[in-house]
Amino acid sequence: MSTDSSHTPAPWSQMLLRTVSELKAQADADGAALDSAVHDDLRRLFQAATTLERQLATAVSDSHHDQMNSLAAIRGYAEMLQEDIGAEATVLGDSLARLLRAVHTAHNGADTPPPAPQRRTIAAEPGFILAVDDLQENRELVARYLSRSGHLVVTAASGAEALQTLTETDVDVVLLDLMMPDMDGREVLRRIKEHPEWRATPVIVISGSQDMDGIIACIEAGADDYLFKPFNPVLLQARIKAGIERKRWHDREEQYRQQLERNEKFIRATFGRYLSDEIVTEILERPEGLELGGDLREVTIMMSDIRGFTTLSEQLAPQHVVAMLNRYLGTMTDIIMAHSGTIDEFIGDAILTVFGAPQHRDDDADRAVRCALAMQAAMAGINADNRAAGLPELTTGIALNTGSVIAGNIGSERRSKYGFVGHPMNVTSRIEDHCEGGEILISDSTASKLQGTYILSNRRELAIRGIEQSVLVQRIQEADHG
């Protein structure tokens, strides 16, 4: 940082400093009549003027930025003092008016009258404001300004401190100085806008720099606004009001989005107990999924049933029957869902499942077979638990059949279900009647669709009640890994 000993102070400087001296003399004369808050603001104003005088005496590379900081502090405290004392101290009020005129001249470079004092008429919802500036006098000024309007203000003396504050609190608006040591305002802005939880927080840059390229860079980086020092307090409050409103809208939208996500999770978890995940997805993601009707689908149907369950249920206490049935159905449901099967319904101890609707896959028949094999293999564990609980062992029969059915919403406008209608459904039920315990029977229509290699045996014709033509079935025992 270089110093120019031949530097000549700006023409406005002598008038401004002379006006400050007049104000100080008048304040000393009226001292006994002024309250402590006015004394504090006057003290801060005179401190800023002393700093400005020192800056004017030395030319340095960033002197304009520093002078704008000092002028902002002088203007800010003068405006607050002018508002506080009102007509109760006419002479002091006149001194403040002359000082504000001198600040206006210093800032605008011409001896023109400043605009009439503006009262704080911006009605804004109180917000939580973070003011970031490396200069203490700037932080104090902004905090005083905004606290008088009902805002809660926290300050940070560095970029690192600002980021730490954002991790600990939910901030509505950030007021950010650009020229700070270590981490400058541009880097702080970049990190805020790249953070997923902070990027919606409005950032208002307040700087003494009027470099147009820098302003454009800040706006492109995500800054919501850019104000020059010394800033207009009414304009600042308007910007803050707009920022708070944007943040509130974002927070409400985020809460609404989270509520929708919670509702959808609840719906999926609740209805997933009654419908398959695919059906729930079909209903939630396609509004027409609730409409009555259906379409023709080729599916592989699986029906499983506990052998002799009616007799068992007559011999056991109801609570034991329910416990045994829930253990069985819970295990089978997990296996079916793992193989992407659609559970149509539980019919007592029977499970009716379809592979191929609402979503068709090329391996529907193979998944149905693998699912049936896994269900029979799981019976060993179920029976081990039954024995440990003093309950009887179970055996199941499983039938598989492939054919075209109508798949869709069946019922009425008041009550409906996603279900399946068609001749193949009845055929599957009749095949299941012929299954022995531990046996899986598949129809020729299913065997012809298999892509994998399996061990099939005991091919035979079944004469099925209510169906004119006989049905060819085979027993499938396990996948052939050889």
- CATH code of 178's domain: 3.40.50.2300
In a domain, 279, yes or no: no
Q: What is the mean pLDDT of residues 326-353?
A: 91
Considering the domain architecture, whether residues 301 and 434 belong to the same structural domain is answered as yes
Q: How far is the C-alpha of 321 from the C-alpha of 142, rounded, in Å? A: 74
Which ranges constitute the DSSP H helices of 86-204? 90-108, 136-147, 159-168, 185-194
Considering the domain architecture, whether residues 348 and 472 belong to the same structural domain is answered as yes
Q: What is the mean pLDDT of residues 359-365?
A: 91
190 lies in which domain range? 128-252
Q: Do residues 442 and 476 touch, judged by C-beta distance below 8 A? A: yes
In a domain, 277, yes or no: no
Task: For the chain, give the mean pLDDT.
Answer: 82
Q: For residue 184, give Cα distances in angstroms to 21, 201, 326, 428, 460.
A: 35, 18, 64, 74, 84
In this predicted model, what pLDDT tens digit does every residue of 55-106 receive, in sequence order?
A: 777 765 556 667 777 787 788 778 777 777 764 556 777 888 888 888 777 7
Exposure of 344 in the CB half-sphere (CA atoms within 13 A): 25
- Tell me what pLDDT residue 13 has: 75
- And the tokens for 109? 């470079």
Considering the domain architecture, whether residues 138 and 227 belong to the same structural domain is answered as yes
Considering the domain architecture, whether residues 182 and 221 belong to the same structural domain is answered as yes
- Tell me what pLDDT residue 2 has: 39
Q: What is the torsion angle, in degrees rounded to the nearest 10, for the CA atoms of residue 307, residue 310, residue 315 and residue 319? A: 100
Element holding 228 (H helix, E strand)? strand 225-228
In a domain, 1, yes or no: no
Considering the domain architecture, whether residues 328 and 460 belong to the same structural domain is answered as yes
Looking at mean pLDDT, say which of 54-68, 206-220, 291-305, 371-385 comes out highest.
371-385
**In which residue are the tokens 């689908």 written?**
297
The tally of domains found in the chain comes to 3
Q: What is the CATH number of the domain that holds 308?
A: 3.30.70.1230
In a domain, 206, yes or no: yes
Q: For residue 471, give Cα distances in angstroms to 274, 459, 461.
A: 32, 10, 5
Q: Do residues 304 and 432 touch, judged by C-beta distance below 8 A? A: yes
What's at 353, amino acid-wise? T
Cross-strand bridge partners of residue 294: 408
Share of the chain above pLDDT 90, in %: 31
In a domain, 231, yes or no: yes
Considering the domain architecture, whether residues 66 and 194 belong to the same structural domain is answered as no
Considering the domain architecture, whether residues 355 and 464 belong to the same structural domain is answered as yes
- And the tokens for 52? 């400005």
Which ranges constitute the DSSP H helices of 112-232? 136-147, 159-168, 185-194, 212-220
